[in-house]
Structure 1
Amino acid sequence: MSWEKSSKTQPRVVKLLKNSIKKQRLAHAYIFEGAHGTGKMAVAAVLAKTFLCRNTEDENPCENCTNCRRITSGNHPDVHVISPEGQSIKIDQIRGLQKEFAYSGMESSKKVYIVEHADKMTVQAANSLLKFLEEPGADTIAILLTEQVHSLLETIRSRAQTLSFSPLPPQGILEKLLEEDIPKPIAALAASLTSDYAEALEICREEWFAQARAKVIQLTEELRLRPDYCLVVLQDQYLSFFKEKEQLRLALNLLLIWYRDLLSIHLSQSEKVVFFDQLQALEQQALQMSQRKTGEALQAILTAQARIRSNVSPLMVMEQLVLRLREG
């Protein structure tokens, strides 16, 4: 946990917090709002560590003092984390928190409490927390984490500083997926499909996704090497695999990424290629297609996506698309 690591994915949030630390103007309560997987809990942990650190330097925690080490290990007695019990955060949990804060700090006078999924507080729990926020301790910081900020009471929102966490850029998602030991070719593709890390991780963990990627690569190979057999492959192997409409939409997205990679090669931007392990095949296809034809192929795929959304027969849409791509 460090500011440096968090600044790679949430530079604006980290800059605001570090400036507040430097000026000794930390708020008594924060709301961290943003999609799941955008690093809210990680930033909350670094903020708690910096707030309690005994030897901060340039707004950075030392990582070596007792407080830093205990927060890293997740067992600091003055950092309290509340999470939903079942489907909600109940009033007894907030009362228990208030009782804890009535005592002096174990390690210092400072205390931090973090409420995960704060939007899941019951009405009674939210009102109880509101009273807590109205009488903040001088050495207390509250951090509320939520994906649904508008579900929080307006009175709670008005008593806290809201920091919005941006969706992760593809590179940020890719790095987090690699930390989960996801193979890089799979991780790179998933990171190009969604800006939600949790969704990307879920996609990667589905064996079907790796198979879908292989099917798309196979189709592009048929288009390049055996164009006369494309319709046969489409009916025998492609449509029988992508049976559901959502699956077919994903297939079209993967195909779109492939042709965007082709365009990147035409523009001498190979570093942007998502199907990086297929670079040789892409370069060979780029030699056979002009940049204009690649652009037309991209437009054809976008048109196919729109037709699928309009409930046109998937077989008709895909046959016409393959015929268009074969012309390239």
Structure 2
Amino acid sequence: MAKWSNLTERQPIATKMLKQMLLRNRVAHAYLIQGDEGTGKKEIGYLIAKSLFCQQVRDGEPCDQCIECNRIESGNHPDVHWIQPDGASIKIDQIAQLQKEFTYKGMESNQKVYLIYHADLMTANAANRLLKFLEEPSQKTTAILMTENSQAILDTIKSRCQTIMLKPLSPTYVQSILEEEGISPENARLFSVIMPNLQQARELDQDEWFAQARSLVVQLIGTLQSNPDETLLFIQKQWIDHFSDRDKLNFSLDLLIYWFKDLVYLNLDQDDQVVFQSYLKELEQARWHWSQADIVETLALILEAKKQLMQNGHPTLVMEKLVLQMQR
């Protein structure tokens, strides 16, 4: 069961603010909680509901033992209602049923809470129906909307909510979760740095395109070191084919940046900071090929290539220019 104290490390600002509101009995009519997957949206929703109903709250922390807390945790509290997408969206019928429920007097008190998970997936009709609901709040009703994409929510709904922005998960936290789920420490380290979003990091473990992308980075470095005259052919025949659009090519440049930053970490004896942990042998070989000055210059060249790409430079020409500069 979630506790405010458990969320403090992950979300110190949001946790402190919400606990103070609860302790001072200044709970807003509606909250919009924005954050990536794994940042604590659902846990916060549960904790707000428990804190409002628990009869044994101590220092803002619900007891997690009383009947109120247990019923909220199990989803069986008569005055706490969860709404989640029905298939691909939250439909108008779900909001209409919620409104109907709230016309009845509370089963055990006048306090009522409704929580909408993936609020950005409401249909237009459902969102407009919810807006009318928010415009006419009852005194002891609290709405908690949760989303990973607040841009998809009507501005008129957002204006009626107090927004709680959750900070992204730290790479260290993501890495620890991935390792607990059985992903190797080497891959967990790489995925957590490249994709601090927990779900996207998980998906990299099953992504064949990413596995090939990582392999191509290592192959490019090897070609630059041992067969530089073949580098342009490698770019034309393999690199551009795999990184086939502007976004993918930009991602490939990010991977190259991580590789050369790893060389910096090795030179500083900070092996624990290395991202490409699975390629320590190849990194050691590269370390002897590229001087510290080379590494710094190469990082600057890659950043310049990213800038040119953002300014609509031709992807193939940008990449060819980069590798020619890296050969010098």
**CA offsets, 1:30-75, max 9 Å, x none?**
1213455543233212322333334333322333333333433444
1:114 corresponds to? 115
1:326 deviates by: 4.2
Q: Which residue identity does 2:239 align to in structure 1?
A: L
- What is the CA-CA distance between 1:299 and the residue it aligns to? 1.5
Q: Quote the Cα distance in structure 1 between the aligned partners of 2:160 and 2:57.
A: 28
C-alpha distance in structure 2 between counterparts of 1:248 and 1:128, whole Å: 42
The corresponding residue for 1:151 is 153
Query: Are 1:89 and 1:122, in contact at CA under 8 Å, matched by a contact in 2?
Result: no
Q: 2: CA distance between counterparts of 1:319 and 1:158?
A: 49
- Whole-angstrom CA distance in 2 between matches of 1:100 and 1:110: 13
Equivalent position of 1:135 in the other structure: 137
TM-score between the two structures when normalised by the length of structure 1: 0.80
Identity %: 39
1:267-286 → structure 2 map (5 Å cutoff): 267-286=268-287
Distance in 1 (CA, whole Å) between partners of 2:24 and 2:288 is 58
- Secondary structure of 1:9's aligned partner: coil
CA distance change for structure 1 residues 216 and 72 in 2, over 3 Å: closer, same or farther? Answer: farther
Question: Distance between the aligned counterparts of 2:237 and 2:53, measured in 1?
Answer: 59
When the two structures are aligned, how many residues end up with a matched partner?
Answer: 323
CA distance in 2, matches of 1:135, 1:61: 25
Do the aligned partners of residues 177 and 134 (structure 1) sit closer, same or farther apart at CA in structure 2, a change above 3 Å counting? farther
User: In the alignment, is the contact (CA less than 8 A) between 1:219 and 1:233 conserved in 2?
Assistant: no
| Equivalent pair of 2:127/2:154 in contact (CA under 8 Å) | no
Partners in 2 of 1:67 and 1:12 — Cα distance? 27
Q: Which residue of 2 aligns with 1:51?
A: 52
What's 2:24 paired with?
23
Q: Report which stretch shifted further, 268-277 or 195-204.
A: 195-204
What displacement does 1:296 show?
0.6
Distance 1:82 1:293, change over 3 A: same
Looking at structure 2, the residues matched to 20 and 164 of structure 1 have their Cα atoms a distance apart, in angstroms, of 16
Amino acid at match of 2:3: S
**Secondary structure of 2:242's match?**
coil
Q: Quick one: structure 1 residues 227 and 75, their matched pair in 2 at CA, closer, same or farther if it must change by over 3 Å?
A: farther
TM-score normalised according to structure 2 size: 0.80
After superposition, where does 1:306-321 map in structure 2 within 5 Å?
Answer: 306-309=307-310, 310-312=312-314, 314=316, 317-321=318-322
8 Å CA contact 1:29–1:161 kept in 2: the answer is yes
- Which string of whole-angstrom CA distances, capped at 9 and with x for unpartnered residues, describes residues 218-259 of structure 1? 3334445x2457528825974376251344332222111111
Taking structure 1 as reference, are residues 319 and 27 closer, same or farther at Cα in structure 2, changes over 3 Å only? closer
In the TM superposition, structure 1's runs of 4+ consecutive aligned residues that sit over 6 Å from their partners are: none
Pairwise CA RMSD: 3.4
Structure 2 partner of 1:266: 267
* Aligned-partner Cα distance in 2 for 1:252–1:289: 18
Structure 2 residue aligned with 1:12: 13
List gaps (5 residues or longer) in structure 2.
Answer: none
